[in-house]
Amino acid sequence: MISIDFFAVQGALTGFSAHGHADTAPYGEDIVCAAVSSACLLTANTITEVLHLPAAAEMKDGFLQLRLSGDTAPAQVLLQGLKLHLSALSEQYPQSIQVLISEV
């Protein structure tokens, strides 16, 4: 299962952590895993490489984490969009994806 945990401070999203595997198809053929990975990478890359917001990012097999530091306002639309997209995917594939929000 893929777990995506969004971090929030007073309701404002400050990052996310995605880990695990969907295991709905063999490696390289898993559309659920591809959808989650693509959405998370697009969000992380846009925040760090296009908006140039200060953030700590870590990626390895089955794991991606992004934590913003400083002003998170410019990233809210992207993070809320990611949360909406992944929540919709979790409704379609509840056995493969779970979305959580942790107030930190």
Q: Residue 4 forms beta bridges with which residues?
A: 18, 99
pLDDT score, position 58: 97
CA distance 92 to 90: 5
What is the DSSP track for the chain? -EEEEEEEETTEEEEEEEEE---SSSTT--HHHHHHHHHHHHHHHIIIIIS---EEEEEETTEEEEEE-S--GGGHHHHHHHHHHHHHHHHH-TTTEEEEEEE-
Structural domains of the chain sorted by starting position, each given as residue range(s) with its CATH number in brackets: 2-103 (3.30.70.1490)
The average pLDDT across 28-36 equals: 94
Q: What is the pLDDT of residues 35-93, one digit of tens each?
A: 999 999 999 999 999 999 999 999 999 999 999 998 999 999 999 999 999 999 999 99
